[in-house]
């Protein structure tokens, strides 16, 4: 449900339409890979446990429904210490090389011999030398983070070296020669942090988004997620649900013979209903976070020669489209990514809408209409005046305001609300940018206020799955089936939060009830 | 595969003291006259009896070693079997041709299925059992099991030899040394020592070593295991006092009657041995503030409650209930101990107060005003071995061919013990015959959940089965344990009789036939709507709808 657009009741007399629309194309593909990878990590958590704790144990059952408690959880192959260049590739002032694992301290000692380990979490200047030749490599700032108070939870070292390629490769080679050290695989530092409970899955996703954030709003959203706000919200829901499930389970396992208090099931029903409401409300503005992550679409459309391409060039600050005084210069849909007021936007220039021209331009017009139609199918709910009966967010912009005579009549009084702009003088551009920012904030959500948004399709999928399962809970007559619905619902939530073992259920049962004989 | 029970001529098993007619004589250096078995089972409780008979059913020459033959099959705590989750385990034990379900069908005095109104996946088959009958029937069964020899004796030590190089483990067990110094050799050994490892009984401030009231603990064996490097933990449990039946005023208490008809535990039985009208009732009463007062006033006389060793949260003593949930009424079920028993078992009153205070507390309770305590309640503390040291086949990682089953692995309950016993017996036998282990996964049975939880997570309190532990609860029902396990048990383990196998096959094919008939049913959606008004089927569908479609789509309505 989107906030009502300010331009609801306008006629479609638009000279020029600027239409934000939601993401498409790149989004599903990106989501699929991300979600797949994330799912892989989640799946691994329960499998690793089996592998580390009981390496000798042969065939186990298929994957657990739930992640087991990971008390003494160690990362896979945790014997190994990993190292990698953590800053970007290429010549630069300072490059950061990190290690993580039990041999980190040893590596630091060997590279900085004969000096001993510096004090923990203090920057110290050290001469790094190659352990094989003794040759000095660089004078570097080193930081020693003994576990578990480190990013990964293991012993970590950071070398802040000068950023020349020879220095970096020299230090990397020196580290490679230390016994027990090996180059890290992609994402392995984060994976270890995850395995040691330093980051949960949504925080890992937030970290990845923060690293890839290109606009200010994206950064704000990613940082909030890294701080665990989304995880926190989901954990709150998961706790409610786990409690409700525990009470239903208590009723199944103990209800008959033990004196559970009255109204255990009724209480669970109330909690489930409240959760349904909360999830439903959150899901309604769910896609905004995804849009912010992957970019909103803004289509510029209108009659030929209105100056659509000029506006696109103006907004993107580069000559994306060829402009000429001749109508019908743009014949195809041209897209360019821009940062508009901190929001990531894919800006589309389209062919002017007119009838009775050559086949090429007609195809361009068709495509232009199509990109608006597509929009109509994605953005829901706010009615506006377009050729289809749908709901688009429209900004009516009248270009070439520099041609209006200063004291002559302005646009007629019947004109719907609009913005005046001159692409030539730039007059009215600030007003347009402000209007766009408001529209985008409505479409993408404001990342600095309100509840944390769902930034990935995965989040939405699991929340929706949870909500659907809660629906089945109420419909089931057989209490075991009802409990199964809650288990499915909880399974979806724990994909976002981690945890979810049966011990948690039993802990709640024995905390809340005096059961057993 | 083979079966002894099915093939007529029963071989009478021997019960002898210090005599070994069946086993061949060992030919190794230990001496020509040393007896040699395939499997030795130490302990005659619920795990030991199942383990010994399972190994024998699998064709292994088996020796059951116990402190006292007359305590084989003793129900040392509550006079009941089954319950929610536990009934599931019993059905699975029965599906593998184990004993306890069949014995319960011959020995119960009050059969009742719990959770009848909550869906068939969570039904809890349960019965009050006549202790004496159970023991008699169990001993009769044990002593007539082919290939199974029973001997009295306390095991002091294990005989260890070089490990087999193709398996993990630092040594291999090849027999046991008894207290009198004699040795018995075997290909594998199963330990089912229950609470006897350094067992200690506590009443009030008194403590004395005992595995069970009146029985000696096993101390030498505990030391041997510790020396081998096993991680040992300590657990506690308790049992309530027993009350004289005629001293209770039942007339003012709530009466609970058994089911009519009774549902038997075993797949092999259509009925139980006793008619519902001949069965005994149970009675319900409650604690009151005066009970709380006695507990709280006398905590200083109660060393069991104060100590930090973990007890079961779900079998709490009345003391811990009062401490954790003060100012409440707690239920006390008064359960018969048997047909002609003079004792009543007050379920819910497990306690370790000094004996004289126990009677004082009990006489505060409604209906028990004149109650006589015949045997005081007591607490037991005992060693258990961290079950993460065993494989899913219950063989230890450290010592090859040594298996653990029952309370030694940190579980509580007859049914949990029996379930492990069957698996240990089967696997000890398979191991001797160099066959792959018989492992039940979490997707196949409650036994799989039990063993997987123990061997991967370990336990810090006595482990009890609950249906909430089971991820695939809807599929692992008491009613289908035979189709889940009997066929596997017959083909892979050889522990199932021909008769049971054929019955399970018949059941399986009947079910399949029934399902295929259901699948073939097609009606128009409007007819379905009439038949099942709750299902919201769109009547606009013009195609006929299959029953199975309906089941899959609307299962939550049905």
Domains and CATH numbers, chain A: 8-21+290-399+408-444 (3.40.50.300), 81-184 (3.30.1360.120)
Interface test with B, best of A61, A264, A489, A494 (most B CBs within 10 A): A61
For the record, the structure tokens of A229 come out as: 């706000």
Of A159-168, A434-443, B261-270, minimum mean pLDDT range? A434-443
Does an H or E element contain B266, and which? none
According to the model, what pLDDT value does residue B218 have?
78
The answer for B 10-49 residues in CB contact with A (under 8 A) is none
Chain A residues with CB-CB distance to B118 below 8 A? 252, 255, 478-480
| B324 inside 8 A of chain A by CB | yes
Task: Express each pLDDT in B324-336 by its tens digit.
Answer: 888 888 889 999 9
**Can you tell me the distance from the alpha carbon of A438 to that of A434, in angstroms, rounded to the nearest whole number?**
6
| A280 inside 8 A of chain B by CB | no
* Domains of chain B, earliest start first: 242-379 (2.40.30.260), 500-557 (no CATH)
According to the model, what pLDDT value does residue A209 have?
80
According to the model, what pLDDT value does residue A376 have?
29
pLDDT at position B265 over 80: yes
Chain B residues with CB-CB distance to A59 below 8 A? 439, 441
pLDDT at position B7 over 70: no
pLDDT at position A370 over 90: no
pLDDT band, residue A478 (cuts 50/70/90): confident
- The nearest alpha carbon in chain A to B323 belongs to A514
Does an H or E element contain A308, and which? helix A308-316
According to the model, what pLDDT value does residue A58 have?
31
Answer whether B333 sits within 8 Å of A257, measured CB to CB: yes
**Can you tell me the distance from the alpha carbon of A376 to that of A22, in angstroms, rounded to the nearest whole number?**
10
| A514 inside 8 A of chain B by CB | yes
Chain B residues with CB-CB distance to A481 below 8 A? 119, 474, 555-556
pLDDT at position B533 over 90: no
Provide the angle, in degrees to the nearest 10, between the axes of the packed helices A287-294 and A457-475: 170
| 8-state DSSP, B490 | I
According to the model, what pLDDT value does residue A27 have?
28
Answer whether A516 sits within 8 Å of B314, measured CB to CB: yes
| B392 inside 8 A of chain A by CB | yes
Task: Express each pLDDT in A40-55 by its tens digit.
Answer: 333 333 333 223 333 3
| A33 inside 8 A of chain B by CB | no
According to the model, what pLDDT value does residue B537 have?
65
Chain A residues with CB-CB distance to B467 below 8 A? 249, 252-253
pLDDT band, residue B446 (cuts 50/70/90): very high
| B261 inside 8 A of chain A by CB | no
pLDDT band, residue A299 (cuts 50/70/90): confident
Answer whether B122 sits within 8 Å of A254, measured CB to CB: no
pLDDT average, residue stretch A402-415: 63
Of A87-91, A290-294, B11-15, minimum mean pLDDT range? B11-15
Collect contacts of A464-471 with beta carbons under 8 A, ≥24 apart. Answer: A464/A283, A465/A489, A465/A492, A466/A237, A466/A241, A466/A279, A466/A490, A466/A492, A466/A493, A467/A276, A467/A279, A467/A280, A467/A283, A470/A272, A470/A275, A470/A276, A470/A279, A471/A276
Chain B residues with CB-CB distance to A468 below 8 A? none
pLDDT at position B1 over 50: no
Interface test with B, best of A252, A265, A470, A502 (most B CBs within 10 A): A252
- How close A361 gets to chain B, by Cα (Å)? 46
Answer whether B556 sits within 8 Å of A62, measured CB to CB: no
| B473 inside 8 A of chain A by CB | yes
- How close B467 gets to chain A, by Cα (Å)? 6
Chain B residues with CB-CB distance to A478 below 8 A? 118-119, 121, 556
Q: Provide the whole-model pTM.
A: 0.74
Answer whether A514 sits within 8 Å of B321, measured CB to CB: yes
- Among B392, B456, B474, select the one facing A53 at the smallest CB separation: B456
Which ipTM was obtained for this model? 0.85
According to the model, what pLDDT value does residue B549 have?
63
- The nearest alpha carbon in chain B to A65 belongs to B471
- How close A267 gets to chain B, by Cα (Å)? 18
User: Which positions ≥6 away from B139 have C-beta within 8 Å?
Assistant: B69, B70, B72, B73
- The nearest alpha carbon in chain B to A51 belongs to B456
Chain B residues with CB-CB distance to A69 below 8 A? 457
Task: Express each pLDDT in A311-340 by its tens digit.
Answer: 888 888 777 778 888 777 777 778 888 887
Interface test with A, best of B78, B112, B119 (most A CBs within 10 A): B119
- The nearest alpha carbon in chain B to A247 belongs to B468
Chain B residues with CB-CB distance to A252 below 8 A? 84, 115, 118, 122, 467-468
| B110 inside 8 A of chain A by CB | no
Strand ordering across the sheet containing B242-244: B254-256, B282-286, B331-336, B343-347, B242-244, B373-375
Coil, helix or strand for B167? coil
Task: Express each pLDDT in B171-182 by its tens digit.
Answer: 999 999 999 999
For the record, the structure tokens of A392 come out as: 């688009």
Chain B residues with CB-CB distance to A516 below 8 A? 312-316
| B479 inside 8 A of chain A by CB | no
User: Which positions ≥6 away from A141 have C-beta within 8 Å?
Assistant: A123, A124, A125, A126, A159, A160
The residue count of chain A comes to: 517
Beta strands in B100-154 (DSSP E): 108-114, 124-129, 148-152
Q: DSSP characters for A408-425?
A: S--S-TTPPS-EE--TTT
Of A177-186, A300-309, B67-76, minimum mean pLDDT range? A300-309
Answer whether B443 sits within 8 Å of A61, measured CB to CB: yes
Chain A residues with CB-CB distance to B558 below 8 A? 477
Report yes or no: B374 and B240 within 8 Å, Cβ to Cβ. no
Task: Express each pLDDT in B198-210 by its tens digit.
Answer: 888 888 888 888 7
């Amino acid at each position: 449900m989107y906030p009502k657009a300010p331009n609801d009741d306008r006629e479609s007399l638009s000279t020029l339409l600027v239409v934000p629309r939601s993401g498409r194309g790149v989004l599903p593909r990106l989501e699929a890979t991300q979600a797949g990878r994330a799912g892989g990590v989640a799946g691994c958590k329960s499998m690793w446990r089996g592998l580390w704790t009981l390496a000798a144990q042969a065939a186990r059952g298929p994957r657990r429904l739930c992640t087991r408690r990971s008390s003494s959880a160690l990362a896979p192959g945790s014997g190994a210490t990993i190292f990698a260049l953590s800053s970007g590739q290429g010549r630069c002032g300072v490059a950061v090389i990190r290690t993580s694992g039990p041999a980190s301290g040893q590596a630091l000692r060997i590279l900085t011999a004969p000096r001993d380990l510096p004090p923990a979490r203090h920057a110290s200047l050290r001469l790094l030398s190659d352990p094989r030749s003794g040759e000095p490599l660089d004078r570097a700032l080193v930081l020693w983070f003994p576990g578990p108070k480190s990013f990964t939870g293991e012993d970590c070292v950071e070398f802040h070296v000068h950023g020349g390629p020879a220095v970096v490769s020299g230090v990397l080679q020196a580290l490679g020669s230390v016994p027990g050290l090996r180059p890290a695989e992609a994402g392995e530092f984060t994976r270890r942090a995850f395995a040691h409970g330093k980051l949960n899955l949504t925080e890992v996703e937030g970290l990845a988004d923060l690293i890839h954030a290109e606009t200010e709003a994206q950064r704000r959203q990613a940082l909030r997620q890294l701080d665990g706000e989304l995880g926190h919200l989901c954990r709150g829901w998961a706790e409610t649900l786990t409690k409700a499930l525990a009470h239903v389970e208590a009723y199944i396992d103990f209800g008959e013979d033990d004196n559970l208090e009255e109204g255990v099931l009724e209480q669970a029903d109330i909690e489930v209903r409240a959760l349904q409401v909360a999830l439903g409300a959150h899901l309604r503005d769910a896609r905004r976070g995804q849009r912010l992550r992957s970019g909103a679409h803004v289509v510029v459309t209108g009659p030929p020669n209105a100056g659509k391409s000029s506006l696109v060039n103006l907004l993107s600050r580069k000559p994306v489209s060829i402009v000429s005084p001749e109508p019908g210069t743009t014949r195809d849909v041209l897209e360019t990514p821009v940062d508009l007021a901190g929001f990531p936007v894919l800006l589309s220039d389209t062919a002017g809408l007119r009838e009775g021209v050559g086949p090429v331009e007609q195809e361009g017009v068709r495509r232009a209409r199509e990109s608006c139609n597509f929009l109509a199918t994605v953005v829901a709910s706010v009615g506006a005046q377009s050729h289809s009966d749908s709901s688009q967010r429209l900004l009516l912009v009248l270009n070439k305001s520099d041609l209006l005579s200063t004291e002559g009549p302005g646009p007629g009084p019947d004109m719907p609300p609009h913005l005046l702009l001159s692409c030539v003088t730039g007059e009215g551009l600030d007003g347009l940018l402000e209007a766009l920012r408001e529209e985008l904030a409505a479409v993408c959500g404001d990342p600095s206020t309100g509840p944390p948004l769902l930034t990935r399709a995965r989040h939405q999928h699991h929340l929706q799955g949870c909500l659907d399962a809660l629906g089945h809970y109420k419909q089931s007559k057989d209490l075991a089936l009802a409990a199964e619905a809650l288990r499915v619902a909880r399974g979806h939530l724990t994909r976002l939060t981690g945890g979810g073992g049966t011990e948690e259920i039993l802990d709640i049962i024995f905390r809340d009830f005096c059961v057993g004989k | 595969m083979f079966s002894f029970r099915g093939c007529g001529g029963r071989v009478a098993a021997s019960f002898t003291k210090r005599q070994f007619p069946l086993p061949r004589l060992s030919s190794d250096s230990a001496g020509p006259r040393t007896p040699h078995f395939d499997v030795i089972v130490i302990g005659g409780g619920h795990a030991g009896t199942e383990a010994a008979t399972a190994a024998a059913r699998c064709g292994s020459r088996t020796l059951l070693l116990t402190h006292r033959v007359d305590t084989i099959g003793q129900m040392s705590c509550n006079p009941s079997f089954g319950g929610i989750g536990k009934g599931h385990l019993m059905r699975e034990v029965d599906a593998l041709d184990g004993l306890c379900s069949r014995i319960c069908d011959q020995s119960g005095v009050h059969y009742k299925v719990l959770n009848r109104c909550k869906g068939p996946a969570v039904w809890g088959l349960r019965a009050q059992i006549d202790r004496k009958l159970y023991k008699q029937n169990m001993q009769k069964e044990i002593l007539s099991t082919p290939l199974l020899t029973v001997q009295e004796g306390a095991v002091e030590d294990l005989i260890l030899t070089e490990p087999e190089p193709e398996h993990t483990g630092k040594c291999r067990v090849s027999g046991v040394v008894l207290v009198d110094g004699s040795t018995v050799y075997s290909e594998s050994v199963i330990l089912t020592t229950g609470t006897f490892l350094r067992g200690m009984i506590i009443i009030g401030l008194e403590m004395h070593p005992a595995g069970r009231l009146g029985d000696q603990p096993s101390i030498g064996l505990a030391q041997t295991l510790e020396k081998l490097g096993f991680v040992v933990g300590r657990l506690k449990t308790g049992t309530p006092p027993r009350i004289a039946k005629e001293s209770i005023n039942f007339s003012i208490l709530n009466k609970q009657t058994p089911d009519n008809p009774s549902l038997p535990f075993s797949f092999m039985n259509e009925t139980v041995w006793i008619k519902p009208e001949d069965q005994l009732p149970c009675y319900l009463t409650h604690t009151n503030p005066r009970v709380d007062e006695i507990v709280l006033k006398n905590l200083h006389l109660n060393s069991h409650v104060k100590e930090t060793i973990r007890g079961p949260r779900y079998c709490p003593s009345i003391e811990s209930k009062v401490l954790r949930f003060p100012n409440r009424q707690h239920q006390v079920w008064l359960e018969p101990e048997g047909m002609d028993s003079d004792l009543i078992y007050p379920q819910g009153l497990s306690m370790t107060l000094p004996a004289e205070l126990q009677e004082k507390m009990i006489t505060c309770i409604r209906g028990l005003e004149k109650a006589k305590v015949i045997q005081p309640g007591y607490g037991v503390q005992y060693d258990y071995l961290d079950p993460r040291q065993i494989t899913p086949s219950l063989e230890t990682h450290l010592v090859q061919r040594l298996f653990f089953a029952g309370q030694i692995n940190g579980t509580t309950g007859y049914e949990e013990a029996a379930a492990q016993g069957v698996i240990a017996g089967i696997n000890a036998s398979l191991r001797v015959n160099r066959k792959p282990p018989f492992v039940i996964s979490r997707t196949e049975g409650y036994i799989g959940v039990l063993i997987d939880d123990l061997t991967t997570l370990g336990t810090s309190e006595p482990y009890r089965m609950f249906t909430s532990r089971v991820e695939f609860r809807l599929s692992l029902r008491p009613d289908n344990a035979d189709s889940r396990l009997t066929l596997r048990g017959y083909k892979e383990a050889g522990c199932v009789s021909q008769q049971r196998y054929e019955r399970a096959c018949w059941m399986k094919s009947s079910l399949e036939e029934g399902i295929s008939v259901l699948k073939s049913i097609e009606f128009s959606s409007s007819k379905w709507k009439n038949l099942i008004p709750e299902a919201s089927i769109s009547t606009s569908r013009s195609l006929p709808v299959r029953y199975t479609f309906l089941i899959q789509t609307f299962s939550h309505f049905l």
